[in-house]
Amino acid sequence: MLHRNNFTIKFKKFLKLASESYSDLYINIINLLVKDFYWILPILLLYSMFYNSYKILLFCSFLKVKEYILKLQIFQTFFSMIEADQKTISLHWSNDFDLQIVRKTSYFLIFLGISGFFYIFFSSLIFDLPASISLFHETNKFDLFTSNNYKYCLFLIIFGVLLDFVGEMHIIFFRNFPVQGKIVSTCVKCGKTAAAGVALVTLVKVPLSYVPGVEPTFVGNTYQQHFGRGYGFSTGRDHLHHFSFQNLPEIKSGEVSMSNFLTDDKKYSLEKANNFIQQPKNLSWAKKNLSVMDCQNLGFNKGYVA
């Protein structure tokens, strides 16, 4: 009876979670599934058999097994060691004057490299966009790292990351009050560095999603679909086509909405756009008024039609 009352109290607490944020709700649901797994297990079994779907049951079972394994003494000792080592490393970075200089220099080089990369890229794009797109059209690629300026920026970023990495390796292997798990701490630092690299690459993909000719990415398309123009692209060639397609008077004025030229998954439809262009009135105007580059991007030669 006591266990049943405890479960009733916890279930009422669970109902109150509906007013909380989605992140808190998710975390608390996971905690509830793990802590009260054996109470919820019969419900999960019935649900799995009735709907012939065992995904939720397997997921909850995995969480319960993970919780049991992580409570073993060997893992508790291991995680305590990692926590203590990370605290030791953090104290060295905060208190050692030479390491403070190393970290500040590292951050400055990374910031300088990223800032230089964006400045060079977007300044060249703003002042010479037609030339940039023509280069893509001729070579069928848009290589951001062919210029020496980009290589210098990339070198600054890599050197800054390596400087920070070497500083932490010096803490792990040579400083006073050394860490206990040297290999584990090295792996943790490698993981942090890799995660920072992924975050940087992801960050770059957002502004690049505005650039015609650059191959679209999942991150760029997701950002554009939810926070940007409202749709993405399947290929860089589609983005080039769209760049010139927007110069048609009906599109530019908003008389014809771009929503008419999207696929069901919110991507620019080359087929729908071409069907619109191939209408005699639109094709005639485009050949007379659009630039040579725009005509090439749209798939026809500039000229006059009878």
- pLDDT tens for 146-190 read 455 667 888 888 899 899 999 999 998 888 777 888 888 888 888
Query: How far, in Å, CA of 276 to CA of 259, rounded?
Result: 13
Query: CA nearest 223: which of 252, 251, 202?
Result: 202
Query: CA nearest 274: which of 232, 234, 241, 239?
Result: 241
Q: Are 285 and 304 in contact (CB under 8 A)?
A: no
DSSP 258: G
Q: What's the full length of the chain, in residues?
A: 306
Span 284-290, average pLDDT = 86
Highest mean pLDDT among 21-25, 144-148, 291-295: 291-295
Helix, strand, coil percentages in the chain from 3-state DSSP, rounded to 5: 75, 0, 20
Largest separation between any pair of C-alpha atoms in the chain: 91
Q: Are 93 and 171 in contact (CB under 8 A)?
A: yes
Query: CA nearest 29: which of 19, 41, 14?
Result: 14
Q: Are 33 and 63 in contact (CB under 8 A)?
A: yes
Span 10-33, average pLDDT = 55
Q: What is the pLDDT of residue 76?
A: 79
pLDDT cut 70: percent of the chain above it: 73
Q: Are 226 and 255 in contact (CB under 8 A)?
A: no
Show me where the domains of the chain are located: 2-71, 97-130+142-208, 218-298
One-letter amino acid for residue 2 of the chain:
L
Q: Are 268 and 236 in contact (CB under 8 A)?
A: no
Backbone angles phi, psi at 272, to 5 degrees: -65, -40
Six token digits for residue 119: 């400045």
Q: Between 114 and 233, where is the model more confident?
A: 233
Query: How far, in Å, CA of 106 to CA of 160, rounded?
Result: 4
Query: How far, in Å, CA of 65 to CA of 34, rounded?
Result: 9
Six token digits for residue 75: 């893992």
Rg (CA), the chain: 29
Q: What is the pLDDT of residue 101?
A: 94
Which residues, in sequence order, are bridge partners of residue 267?
Answer: 232
Q: What is the pLDDT of residue 223?
A: 86
Query: How far, in Å, CA of 88 to CA of 95, rounded?
Result: 11
DSSP 216: P
Q: What is the pLDDT of residue 244?
A: 86
Six token digits for residue 232: 């993405």
Q: Are 231 and 225 in contact (CB under 8 A)?
A: yes
Query: How far, in Å, CA of 287 to CA of 292, rounded?
Result: 9
pLDDT single digits (tens) 124-146: 555 444 444 444 444 443 444 44
Q: What is the pLDDT of residue 227?
A: 84
Residue 293 pLDDT more than 90? no
Query: CA nearest 80: which of 170, 193, 184?
Result: 184
